Amino acid sequence: MTDISLDELAFFDAKREALPLYLALRERLLKARPDTRIEVRKTQISFKNRRLFAAVSFLPARRAALRPQNFLTLSLCLREPISSPRVDGSVETYPGRWTQHILMDASQTPDEELVAWLLRASDEANARPGKTPGTEA
Rounded Cα gap, residues 131 and 1, in angstroms: 30
Residue 24 belongs to what domain range?
A: 6-126
Residue 134 belongs to a domain: no
* Prediction pTM value: 0.88
Residue 1 belongs to a domain: no
Higher pLDDT, 130 or 27: 27
Residue 41, domain CATH: 3.90.1150.30
Beta bridge partners, 55, equal 46, 75
C-beta of residue 86 within 8 angstroms of C-beta of residue 102: yes
Domain count, the chain: 1
C-beta of residue 21 within 8 angstroms of C-beta of residue 58: no
Q: Is the pLDDT of residue 129 over 70?
A: no
- Kindly report, residue by residue over 69-92, the tens digit of the pLDDT: 899 999 999 999 999 999 999 999
Residue 112 belongs to a domain: yes
Residue 88 belongs to a domain: yes
Is 16 exposed, middle or buried (CB count within 10 Å of its CB: 0-12, 13-18, 19+)?
Answer: exposed
Band of pLDDT at residue 137, cut at 50, 70 and 90: very low
